[in-house]
Amino acid sequence: MSVRILALVGSLRAGSHNRQLAEAAVKLAPEGTEVELYEGLAEIPFYNEDIDVEGSVPAAAAKLRAAAQSSDAFLLFSPEYNGTIPAVLKNAIDWLSRPYGAGAFGGKPVAVVGTAFGQYGGVWAQDEARKAVGIAGGKVLEDIKLSIPGSVTRFADTHPADDTEVAAQLTEVIARVHGHADETAAA
């Protein structure tokens, strides 16, 4: 079965190592798996129930929801900002959690990975993202983790796609997410 994985990146910086990691996922996706790197998280307004009204949802939020609805699984790339999840990623999760009980995550598999400058690779933020997406209705894949420490030095001269260890680990993550998507579709 062909599987479509929507990748959301919690950093807006053009040279973000998490964005590069997501670009690597797009490049490394095996045949039968499409990883789509979602563009446009910066344009989505902060979640506000007053503007989340059927028929007048902001276009940027509606576009995100449509992309999420047409995906089979999610791969979230989270850096760590002050020990927690970046606001842009949390905002995307909030928009995808609504309408209450019928959000776009809808029991679909979600894995959270990432890289950060610190020695733990952003695990606190990734744990917070898993918590938020689970509450938002996603099927969090707790057994799939990839936290790459020391991003500033590790990826100073090497794109994550060209780091053989990272490429192998990321390819394994994608294959496992694909497998979970297959299982979810068969259930």
| Per-domain residue ranges of the chain | 3-186
How many Cβ atoms from other residues are within 10 Å of residue 8's Cβ?
Answer: 26
Question: Is the per-residue pLDDT at 43 higher than 80?
Answer: yes
pLDDT of residue 50: 96
Q: Shortest CA distance to 25 belongs to which of 158, 161, 179, 162?
A: 161
pLDDT of residue 77: 98
Q: Which CATH architecture has domain 3-186?
A: 3-Layer(aba) Sandwich (3.40)
pLDDT of residue 187: 82
pLDDT of residue 58: 98
pTM above 0.85, yes or no: yes
For 186, the token pair is 């068969």
Question: Is the per-residue pLDDT at 82 higher than 80?
Answer: yes
**Range from 18-22, 66-70, 120-124, 177-181 carrying the lowest mean pLDDT:** 120-124
Q: Residues 6 or more apart from 140 whose CB is under 8 A from it?
A: 110, 112, 130, 133, 134
Asked if residues 60 and 43 have their Cβ atoms less than 8 Å apart, the reply is yes
**Average of pLDDT values for 125-143?**
97
